[in-house]
Structure 1
């Protein structure tokens, strides 16, 4: 799955694919514009390195909505368990770290 961030708002591409995850950020979003979009949609927060984003897992669930298979929640939880084993969840377990690709 890919979280797409553009000035028009967020979208979740390939939501049924729980085997990989990253964030694609439009070149039109940087600095305060990106932070504003994240806050407006309660998506998460930038990591200190600026190359990663801690994405709210609840936001991913909401964006996936009914566009995924019946077993998606189980597979998504499996993805989060794998992320936790790699240290990619925040301390609260509510945000998953994702690499940012600029588009």
Structure 2
């Protein structure tokens, strides 16, 4: 799954979730926006925040709410829960487990 922060209408960055059925990976893809713009967009969307240029924190609840309506498999919820448990077992959580730490990568469209 990919959380994208890309330039939107009127150059206001947009946050969206892509590849929601691929729960074997999770990262933040940032397009041609500054770290400050990406952080502000994530916070405004209620999706999370950047901690630095390489790492972000994504709200588990917000991610689920944004991704689940796009899911195409009946077992998506169970697989999402398993992804969160896996991340917790690896120590990739933040905010007392309410957030997941994610790597920041350039967006394909950047």
* TM-score of the two chains, using structure 1 as the length reference: 0.88
* Structure 2: unaligned runs, 5 residues or longer: 9-13
1:5, 1:11 within 8 Å by CA — same for their partners in 2? yes
Q: In the alignment, is residue 32 of structure 1 matched against residue 36 of structure 2? A: yes
Shift of residue 73, structure 1, vs aligned partner: 1.1
1:7, 1:37 within 8 Å by CA — same for their partners in 2? no
- 2:28 paired residue number: 23
Shift of residue 91, structure 1, vs aligned partner: 4.2
- 2:99 paired residue number: 95
Q: Where does structure 1 differ by over 3 angstroms across 4 or more consecutive aligned residues?
A: none
Work out which of the residue numbers 67, 73, 79 in structure 2 matches 1:75. 79
* TM-score of the two chains, using structure 2 as the length reference: 0.83
Using the alignment, how far apart are the partners of 2:78 and 2:35 within structure 1? 35
Superposed, which structure 2 residues align to 1:38-57 within 5 Å? Answer: 38-47=42-51, 49-57=52-60
Work out which of the residue numbers 52, 58, 63 in structure 1 matches 2:61. 58
Work out which of the residue numbers 3, 11, 20 in structure 1 matches 2:16. 11
RMSD: 1.4
Using the alignment, how far apart are the partners of 2:35 and 2:86 within structure 1? 30
Q: How many residues align?
A: 101
Structure 1 window deviating more from structure 2 (75-84 vs 64-73): it is 64-73
* Structure 1: unaligned runs, 5 residues or longer: none
